[in-house]
Structure 1
C-alpha cells in the first residue's frame, strides 16, 4: 500500500498514543511515533524516534526523520502529557519544570515545525489531547498544573484554528475524562470511575475514535471535543 499521508504522534509508546499509531496505520497513513522509550517497529511504515519531547531538539529530529522517510507531514497529534496531581502549595519547582516541559514546551516546537510543513503542502491537521479538568475543576482532584498547561493547549487550539482557517490547516483538541491506560493502576479504577457522571472510566478506543473523527471532519476546526463520560456537562 502506498503511503498517501503521514501522521506524527507524540507519547506514542503506550496507552492512547499506541492506539493512535494503530488507528492511523489502519487509515493508510505512514506514522512517525515518538516517546522517550519507544521501541523499533516491525512495520516499515511506522518510524519510531526516541526522545524527550520537552527538549526542542527532539522535535527537530522527529520532523526531520519523518520528512526524510516519508517526504511529508499531514497530521500531528500532540498526545504526550504528564499529570501530577497535588495541592497547589505542594508543587515543587521540579514539578513545575517537568509538567510545563512536556505539556507546553513539548507542544510548542514540534507544532511549529509541523505547521510550517503543512503550510507549504497547503493542508494539514493538528490535534491536541487536553483534559476535561481544564473546563471542570474538581475538588477531589487538585490539579492546577494540568489546568495551567492543558488549559494553555486548549486556548492555543482555538487561536491556531483561526490563524490558519483560510490556509488549509485545521487545529482541534480532544478533551478526555480519565481513560484506562497504564498511567492509572487498577486499584484506583473504582475511585476514578466515580468522578464521571456515567460512573465509568473511558477506554483508549474512545479517544482514538474521537481523533479519527476529527481527522476526517473537513469542516471542523477549533473544536474541543469532550470525551469524558459527561464531566464537561456538570456534576
Structure 2
C-alpha cells in the first residue's frame, strides 16, 4: 500500500530534506510550496533521484489556496497518511529585536503563517488523514518556544532575549499540537511537535550550526512512528547534546 505524505514549505531547506528522507522509506511525497516554479523544480529534482514526488501549490496564509490543495490531494490520492506542517516565517526584527520593540503588524504577519496557517491546513486535511490506516501529523516547532527552557536558569534558552512573534508562535504551535493529540487520542492518528534544532536555513540567514539534513531528521522520525509510538510530545534535537530526545514544553 502506498504511503503518501504532504509537507508544507517543501521546496527548500528542512521541508525539502524531510521530503527527500521520507522517500527513502518508500513514501510518495507531495511537496507543498507557494511558488509553482520552485515547487515544480524541487519535485523534479527528487524524481530525478528515483522518488515518487509531486508538487502541490499551497499558500498556508490563504484559505482558498488551502482548500484547493486539499481538493487536489483528495482527487489524486484519495487519502493522506502523513502531514508535516513545516512552513514558517521568522518575520524579521523590529527595532532592536527585543519584545518591547515589536509591532502588532509583524506579530499578525508571523501568526498568519506559523499558527493560523498550520491550523487551517490541518483542519482542511484531517478528513483525508482519517481515511488512512494510521496517520501521522508532525508540527515543526522550535526549542525557542519552550516555556520550560525559557524559564530554567540552567537552560541556554533562558539566556536568549528574543522578539515575540516567532518565539511565541512556536509556543502556540506546541499547544496546538497538544490539543489535536487530545482530540485524536482515541484514534490511530498520532500528533507530535518536532524540534529541528538551530538549523542553517533561509529563515535565519543560514546561521544555524545544524544542516538541513539533520534538521529534517526529527520530523521524519515522528512521521514514521510505529503503532506503539507516542502522541502529544515535543521531540527532537536537544541543545548542547548529540542525541535526540523529548523536550519539555
Question: Quick one: structure 1 residues 122 and 52, their matched pair in 2 at CA, closer, same or farther if it must change by over 3 Å?
Answer: same
Tell me, what secondary structure is at the counterpart of 2:185?
coil
For 1:158 and 1:51, the matched residues in 2 are separated by 25
Q: Which residue of 2 aligns with 1:154?
A: 174
| Matching of residues 211-222 of structure 1 within 5 Å | 211-218=219-226, 219-222=229-232
- 2:239 equivalent to 1:229: yes
Closer, same or farther: CA 104–233 of 1 in aligned 2, 3 Å: closer
Alignment of 1:82-93 (within 5 A): 82-83=89-90, 84-85=92-93, 86-93=97-104
> TM-score scaled to structure 2, two decimals?
0.79
Q: Provide structure 1 residue ranges, at least 5 long, that are not aligned to the other structure.
A: 193-200
- Equivalent-residue separation in structure 2 for 1:173 and 1:82 (angstroms): 17
Which of these residues, 59, 64, 86, is aligned with residue 71 of structure 2?
64
TM-score for the superposition, normalised by structure 1: 0.83
Structure 2 stretches lacking a partner, 5+ long: 151-157
Q: Is the 8 A contact 1:122 1:167 kept in 2?
A: no
* Alpha carbons of structure 1 residues 233 and 103: separation in structure 2 relative to 1, 3 Å: closer
C-alpha contact (below 8 Å) 2:7/2:85 kept by paired residues? yes
Specify the SS of the correspondent of 2:131.
helix
User: Cα RMSD between the aligned structures?
Assistant: 2.4
Q: Which residue of 1 aligns with 2:215?
A: 207
d(CA) in 1 for partners of 2:13, 2:214? 12
Per the alignment, residue 144 of structure 2 pairs with 133
CA distance in 2, matches of 1:233, 1:48: 32
Deviation at 1:151, TM superposition (A): 0.8
| 2:43 pairs with 1:39 | no
> Given the alignment of the two structures, is residue 8 of structure 1 paired with residue 6 of structure 2, yes or no?
yes
Q: State whether structure 2 residue 26 is matched by structure 1 residue 28.
A: yes
Q: How many residues align?
A: 220
Alignment of 1:185 with 2:205, yes or no, is yes
